[in-house]
Amino acid sequence: MCENEIEIENYDKYKEPSFQFVAKIEEYHINNLSYNDFFDRFMVKNIPVLINGIADRWECQNWIDSSHLVNIEYLRQKIDKTQNVPIANCGKVYYNSHEKSEMQFGAFVDYWTNKMQQNECDSTNLLYLKDWHLRRSQPDYQFYTTPIYFASDWLNEYCVEKRIDDYRFVYMGPKGTWTPFHADVFSSFSWSTNIVGTKKWIFLPPQEEDKLRDNLGNLPFDIDEEKYQNLIHEKNVRSFEVIQRAGQTVFVPSGWHHQVWNLEDTISVNHNWFNGCNIHCIWNAIYAKYKDVLREIDDCKDMDGFDEHCQLMLKSDFGLDFQMFLDILECVATNRLKILQMSCELMLNESKLGRKHSIYDLMSIRRVLEDFYTKCILENLQKSSQALILEINQVLR
């Protein structure tokens, strides 16, 4: 196995998903954690881990000054100050999120500089630059490389190949900025690398968040409120805290709810992604949201085009519909089939995908497609999924 090959030792070992829960997070250095170990011990089992050393050689180490603080002047030099960036106001709530707006990057840096000089935390006007597609907006600026542990990334493989979007982000915020209680989009994995500063994370294993729902089934916005802290204690909610420092990377598994605070001025690089280890979680989340849509508009089920209208609502609410989900599986399966049938080489984020890993990916796709075929009532998608199952079977038999 070459140094930059994404490969596993035995795909037969992972025929069925095997999730485990933990009460604390383990910590490793990249020199002591191989890709196969990460795959076997954390990704397949869907448990978090803290990894040191990932960002040591990234260009964005220059975002740190000699005092180990944010290097504002370097950011001004390297990043287009006229581009609009997404901003969340951590002092204002809009529905179940922080109020969102846009401002030019130069204006945000000016705001941040003033905050640093004031050295105070005004909770009514805390602006957090979040979900910023810096990699997409400045593609020539290679400020980081995707770590090999997270290189098997079907979501961004599809989105970047089709040039429709990506789920690669930068977060920048002053001390006191925070992200409300949530699980990641699509029930995906995520990873977050701190470049500078310190974050505090609170993690709840899957299903533990249900103990915090109100009478209407709603989850809390801020679990730091006293009533939720009391509820966590009263209902014995399993949770644990992680302090993430500069240079450390957190792997966030599927379905783990969490809340995050910036304890200092902080910058992080983040991805959302999924692959063969959690693709069933994505499908389960899509189908659960689809059932919600059906219940919501049940009184309209006799209308013409009802099924198509449900898919439109699903795409609007969840971000994925059945068609896009199947498109992702077809894209990924096609790339893996080329490896096995034509001995083609596939590079994912500067790492080569191995043959055993390709077989595992196809097995995971087939398992989800079989359920998709059973539950999807759209005839054209049924036919497409069945055809892809047959194609995969011809290679894996």
Task: Give the domain ranges of the chain.
Answer: 20-273, 279-396
Q: What is the pLDDT of residue 205?
A: 93
The hierarchical CATH code for the domain 20-273 is: 2.60.120.650
Low-confidence residues of the chain, pLDDT below 70? Answer: 1-3, 15-19, 119-123
Q: What is the pLDDT of residue 88?
A: 97
Burial (Cβ within 10 Å: 0-12, 13-18, ≥19) of residue 251: buried
Q: What is the pLDDT of residue 195?
A: 98
CA distance linking residue 150 with residue 166, whole number of Å? 15
| Token couple for 245 | 């420092």
Are the C-beta atoms of residues 118 and 148 closer than 8 Å to each other? no
Residues 131, 132, 133, 135: is their CA dihedral positive or negative? negative
Strands across the sheet containing 26-29: 26-29, 49-52, 248-252, 189-196, 266-273, 168-173, 127-132, 84-94, 97-104
pLDDT tens digits along 79-130 = 999 999 999 999 999 988 999 999 999 999 999 999 888 866 666 789 999 9
Q: What is the pLDDT of residue 15?
A: 65
Element (H, E) at 143: none
Q: What is the pLDDT of residue 70?
A: 96
Note the helical H segments in the chain: 35-38, 72-78, 105-118, 134-137, 154-162, 226-234, 279-296, 306-318, 322-342, 355-375, 379-396
Burial (Cβ within 10 Å: 0-12, 13-18, ≥19) of residue 302: exposed
Tell me how crowded residue 217 is: count the other CB atoms within 10 A of its CB: 7
